[in-house]
Amino acid sequence: MALRARYSKIEGMTELLLTQHRQVRPPVRVENIVRGLGLEVRAGDLKDVSGLLVRTGDTAVIGVNSTQSRVRQRFTIAHELGHFLLHEGIQHHVDHNYRVNFRSEVSSSATSVDEIEANFFAASLLMPRHFLDAVNAVDAMDDDARVAELARAFDVSRHAMSLRLVNVYQHHSPY
């Protein structure tokens, strides 16, 4: 189990998935990628659970909470796909309202690293670096209206978009 999140490896994986599934512009059709990999997605009222992953042999079922917002469900599906591809040892995984920004350096336990990796995977898949570069997203960092516009284009929450922009372009930040 990884002790540090494998950021470069994950970004390589998401780039390959986007190419293989011919995703060339936002919004990324995460459901097509998941289906292309042979996984099944089902929705239901999961109460305080955002999503889950249940493996069966080589494939898996991803469960998503239908009571949460659509953009959140998209992120959850991508997050669970991340667990499926990155964390082979886990047969059954249940995510209770995980935090999208769960990537603190303090989160050192193996489980926390898994969550950081799954979140980074989801963000990289739904908001690929080169898609952001292509629309000069770096200029949106300090502009709420542009963040909202990008969030709509990428079909993600504004919160997820803000975090991704900081993550990708933080060396540009004046703070």
Binding footprint of another protein on the chain (CB under 8 A): 27-31, 35, 40-46, 49, 52, 54, 61, 63-64, 66, 70, 73-74, 77, 91-94, 96, 104-112, 115, 155
Instruction: Return the DSSP state at 63.
Output: E
Pairwise CA distance, residues 81 & 121, whole Å? 8
Secondary structure of 73-101 as H, E, C letters: HHHHHHHHHHHHHHCCCCCEEEEECCCCC
In the bound state with another protein, the residue whose beta carbon lies nearer, of 24 and 110, is: 110
CB of 174 to another protein, least distance (A): 21
Pick the closest to residue 107 from 1, 6, 4 (CA basis).
Answer: 4
In the bound state with another protein, the residue whose beta carbon lies nearer, of 73 and 119, is: 73
Instruction: Return the DSSP state at 137.
Output: G
User: Residue 63: how many CB atoms within 10 A of its CB?
Assistant: 23
CB of 97 to another protein, least distance (A): 11
CB of 124 to another protein, least distance (A): 17
CB of 113 to another protein, least distance (A): 10
